[in-house]
Amino acid sequence: MFNFAPAPSPGPEPSDAEKEAKLNKLRHRRLATTLGLFLLLLSFVLVLWLLLLPSKPTFTLQDATVFAFNLSSANALTTTAQVTLSARNSNGRIGIFYDTLEFFAVYRGQQITAPAQLPPAYQGRKESAVWSPFLYGDAVGLAPEIGVALGQDLVAGTPTVNVIVRSKIRWKVGTFVSGGYHLYVNCPAIMNSGGRRSGIGGGEAAITYQFFLDCRVTLAARNSNQRIGIYYDRVDVYAAYHGQQITLPTLLPPTYQGNKDSAVWSPFLYGDAVPVAPELGVALGQDQIAGTLMVNIRVRGRIRWKVGTFVSGGYHLYVNCPAFINSGGRSVGIGGVGEVAVKYQLIMGCHVDV
């Protein structure tokens, strides 16, 4: 005999309010999870930032050579000067990209020269850079009260002009590059006018140090990766002495380097009458007399990695190769007009930063 028990009847369907409550609870859990992950990531970034804590670059006005600083009776100021500023990156783990660089002079809040634009630069960890731009201002009209104040300062003999540096910089930590930050530098320069109200200069001589360098370098690069190729999208090569760029950058053609491949470049580098800071001019003379001159050959570029058909985004490449040159103890330098170029057979390892 079989007994059939009735199947248990399903419970009542949850009401719309109960369904909505369950959905709200699920949404709250997801929101709490997302918020927790975001706060965790934010805390990690904050701790990393505090550990690294980038320091601002330190600028020093090393020299100001004034060729003309003349005030006319119509309150028009004509300025011709060359300033030398050095910047040091004191960070031990952070590099600095200077995307834009502008230099100009200001007197009592009024700009008196046109901005001098310099090319973008990269400053590695614990490195220094030196810039020596010329500043020009042709008959710049001054406000009446500023013209009177300048005349008084010239008679007193010590007019103060502010050299301003304006730049947009980015921080580089490993392969991470930050967004842009505005940099504003103000360097006061106190000049000696000798008590002449008309100004400074006017046909007088000024001593400057200039660097002449024409050379050809050969660089070899090896891709040691077994499954990864490298695209060199843009590569610039230039020479630097004591942190100051002394040749124009030579642009190399785009190149692809397969796995385990090597590439060789032999660019010419040219630097014609490049102004250098006075202390660098003294150091250069000492190095030449000592017989050994160290010039840094630098490579600055943008690369991409290729794995199979996948190609990564762009990475910044920075290479520094020391080159030791024998000057033979001549303080006047190496080579000369009509002389045969001297070839120095050097094999030096380079420091690479990506």
Q: Residue 324 has what pLDDT?
A: 80
Find out whether 169 and 98 touch, Cβ atoms under 8 Å: yes
221-278 per-position pLDDT tens digit: 899 998 899 999 888 998 888 877 788 888 898 999 998 899 899 899 888 777 666 6
Pair (63, 103) in one structural domain: yes
Residues 183 and 216 reside in one and the same domain:
no
Domain count, the chain: 2
Residue 144 lies in a domain: yes
User: Could you tell me if 121 and 98 lie in one domain?
Assistant: yes
Residue 198 predicted with pLDDT over 70: no
- Residues 105, 187, single domain; the answer is yes
302 in a structural domain: yes
Higher per-residue confidence, 302 vs 200 = 302
Residue 49 lies in a domain: no
Q: Does the pLDDT at position 5 exceed 80?
A: no
Last residue of a domain, one of 147, 166, 201: 201
Looking at residue 169, which CATH number applies to its domain?
2.60.40
pLDDT of 205 above 70 = no
Q: According to the model, what pLDDT value does residue 112 have?
A: 93
Same domain, 189 and 273: no
pTM greater than 0.75:
no
Tell me which of 208 and 150 has the higher pLDDT: 150
Question: How many other CB atoms are found less than 10 A from the CB of residue 333?
Answer: 15
Strand segments, DSSP code E, in 57-127 are 58-71, 76-88, 95-107, 110-111, 116-118, 121-123
What would the pLDDT profile of 124-180 be if each residue is shown by its tens digit?
888 888 888 899 999 899 998 998 898 888 888 778 899 999 999 999 887 788 889
Distance separating alpha carbons of residues 75 and 317, to the nearest angstrom = 50
* pLDDT score of 114 more than 90: yes
pLDDT at 170: 92
Domain extent for 129: 58-201
Among 178, 185, 182, 191, smallest CA distance to 164 is for: 185
Share of the chain above pLDDT 70, in %: 78
Long-range Cβ contact pairs of 321-324 (< 8 A, separation 24 or more): 321/219, 321/296, 321/297, 321/348, 321/349, 321/350, 321/351, 322/294, 322/295, 322/296, 322/297, 322/348, 323/217, 323/294, 323/295, 323/296, 323/297, 323/348, 324/292, 324/293, 324/294, 324/348
Same domain, 190 and 246: no
Q: How far apart are CA 354 and CA 338, in angstroms?
A: 41
Amino acid at 77: L
Question: How far from chain centre, in Å, is Cα 209?
Answer: 23
Residue 18 has pLDDT above 90, yes or no: no
Indicate if 335 and 263 belong to the same structural domain: yes
In a domain, 32, yes or no: no
